[in-house]
Amino acid sequence: MSTVAIAGLNAMSPGICSATTSKVPNVHGFGAKGDGVTLDTAAVQAAVNACTPGAMVRVGPGRYVIGTIKLKSEMELHLAEGAELLGSLSLADYDPDTRAIEAPADNKCLIYAKNARNLKITGPGIINGRGMKEYFPVKVGRAWGERPMLIRFVHCQGIAFSDITLRDSPSWCVHLLSCDDITASKVTINSHVNVNNDGFDLDGCGNVLIQNCNLRTGDDAICPKSTTAKLCENIVVKNCRVQSNTAAFKCGTSSRGGFKDITVSDCDFSGCRMGVIKLTLVDGGIMQNISISNIIANDVEGPIFIRLGNRGRLYDKPTQQFQRADAQPEGAPVGSIKNIRISNVTATLTGTEPDRQGIMITGIPGHNVEDVVLENIKVSFVGNGTAEDARRTVPENIAQYPGQTFFGILPSYGIYLRHVDGMVLRKVNLSLQNPDQRPAIVGEDVNRLRIYR
């Protein structure tokens, strides 16, 4: 592989580029400074443009302020030790032509590619979005404030992230839309300086492997989505350490096509608030053949949430996510959830907000969640539920944003089942840290419930 070195120290020069082939322009022609102040967008983009197929663009030690950079096929962007790409603090430096159908306020991004093949972003350097709220406010007046994403690839194939650190995105970190053949290995994400600080958002992506990653995110850490008819399928997540303010692994929020053949295993999901594992399908589509196993989850809330609903969003126009209790179905037919297996999970719940506790699995009237197995599950619940909580009626909220907290306190301290057909509980151990007047399990409109050992 030939190499283009962007900036920093190298044997030839302290300037931006050195070339190992005559096809790459001379290092001094790009002119990046890497001083943490000068806007180096044009220089970095020039190096990318000069990169021949199969070549590496190398970012040497230094701090390079950039706006939007557009990558192309058959290239590797490599950040050396001590190299840091810094997102510009001015929205004017971000290209507006990097749009996505979900979250239009976050249309812009720092690193972008479309219709490209065989892309690599490698470390050990850092990509830092510098996305603090003082620079990228959530709202400006009554409108959503623009907040760029860190990385967005659209209709790309053959993507690899390895040994890279991603920090402090103004919104999502990695947004992959209709991409295939993706590997993320030994990636570190540390992003929780704003809202919607997701880690990996995989929208209609196939053949994905996420392994040996360390993720600390303000929002969903690993989040398959589906705003088009293209399924999220053949996804493997393993050997990851995840901490999140909302969820470690979540399928949703959008689900037009759906999710199929997904495996999550051998992960530590400790320190997750508002939920650990969330499987949601509210915009039609399918969810089937999901296997989650060998999970440790200490100091968490809401260990398992499975929701089939009927928001019915078509995603035929850019749409922000809203969380309205009075929402009405928007037109897409109700989808289906079936063949879910969750096994070998050990969890200890903490927290003082009772609507964030408990395991909840629910469909809607006339549309059941089907064939779910919970096996070898050991959960310690906070407790403190009252007799009044035990008598509570849980609202259906068939079209609301799919979050467990919107249903309120559950009438069980452990597991609440509703509109479920085919449920197996095998070697499930539910314990309490404090007295609780609710039963361990409550079921409403549940068929074929089997409980073993």
Q: What is the pLDDT of residues 131-169, one digit of tens each?
A: 999 999 998 887 889 999 999 999 999 999 999 999 999
Q: Which amino acid makes up residue 258?
A: G
pLDDT tens figures, 288-322: 999 999 999 999 999 999 999 999 999 887 777 77
Provide mean pLDDT across the span 106-114. 95
Q: Residue 3 — very low, low, confident or very high, per pLDDT cuts 50/70/90? A: low
pLDDT at 4 over 60: no
**Cα separation, 232 vs 222, whole angstroms:** 13
**Cα separation, 114 vs 73, whole angstroms:** 9
Residue 363 backbone zone (phi > 0: left; psi -120 to 50: alpha; other: beta): beta
What does the angle CA 180 – CA 186 – CA 188 come to, to the nearest 5 degrees?
100
Q: Residue 30 — very low, low, confident or very high, per pLDDT cuts 50/70/90? A: confident
Q: How large is the greatest C-alpha to C-alpha distance in the chain, in angstroms?
A: 78
Burial class, 298, CB count within 10 angstroms (exposed 0-12 / middle 13-18 / buried 19+): middle
Distance (Å) of CA 235 to CA 116, 206, 289: 21, 7, 11
Cβ-based neighbours of 13, under 8 Å, separated by 6 or more: 27, 28
Residue with tokens 């306020």: 105
pLDDT at 28 over 50: no
Report CA torsion sign: 217, 221, 226, 231.
positive
CA neighbor of 264 nearest in space, from 282, 243, 278: 278
**Cα separation, 372 vs 422, whole angstroms:** 6
CA neighbor of 207 nearest in space, from 173, 172, 231, 223: 231
Q: Which tokens is 323 given?
A: 């969380």
**Cα separation, 154 vs 203, whole angstroms:** 9
Give the model's pLDDT for residue 102. Answer: 80
CA neighbor of 332 nearest in space, from 354, 313, 318, 306: 313
> How confident is the prediction for the chain on average, in pLDDT?
92
pLDDT at 366 over 90: yes
Report CA torsion sign: 66, 163, 296, 377.
positive
Q: Residue 59 — very low, low, confident or very high, per pLDDT cuts 50/70/90? A: very high
Cβ-based neighbours of 63, under 8 Å, separated by 6 or more: 34, 35, 36, 84, 86
Give the model's pLDDT for residue 85. Answer: 96
Do the beta carbons of residue 50 and residue 24 sit within 8 Å? Answer: yes
Buried b (16+ CB within 10 A) or exposed e, 394-408: bebbbbbbbbbbebe
Q: Which amino acid makes up residue 195?
A: V
**Cα separation, 297 vs 303, whole angstroms:** 8
**Cα separation, 252 vs 309, whole angstroms:** 11
Give the model's pLDDT for residue 8. Answer: 44
Cβ-based neighbours of 396, under 8 Å, separated by 6 or more: 364, 365
Between the two ends of the chain, the Cα-to-Cα distance in Å is 58
Cβ-based neighbours of 406, under 8 Å, separated by 6 or more: 323, 325, 397, 400
pLDDT tens figures, 184-218: 999 999 999 999 999 999 999 999 999 999 999 99
Give the model's pLDDT for residue 11. Answer: 29
Q: Which tokens is 335 given?
A: 């989808």
259: Cα within 13 Å, side-chain hemisphere: 32
Q: Which tokens is 185 given?
A: 């290995």
**Cα separation, 131 vs 345, whole angstroms:** 34
Provide mean pLDDT across the span 321-345. 91
Higher per-residue confidence, 142 vs 330 = 330
Provide mean pLDDT across the span 409-422. 98
pTM above 0.85, yes or no: yes
CA neighbor of 331 nearest in space, from 284, 394, 268: 284
pLDDT tens figures, 262-295: 999 999 999 999 999 999 999 999 999 999 999 9
Report CA torsion sign: 91, 137, 129, 320.
negative
Q: Residue 13 — very low, low, confident or very high, per pLDDT cuts 50/70/90? A: very low
pLDDT at 20 over 50: no
Give the model's pLDDT for residue 1. Answer: 53
**Cα separation, 91 vs 154, whole angstroms:** 21
**Cα separation, 408 vs 428, whole angstroms:** 24
Cβ-based neighbours of 142, under 8 Å, separated by 6 or more: none
**91 phi/psi in degrees, rounded to 5:** -60, -25
CA neighbor of 440 nearest in space, from 396, 380, 393: 380
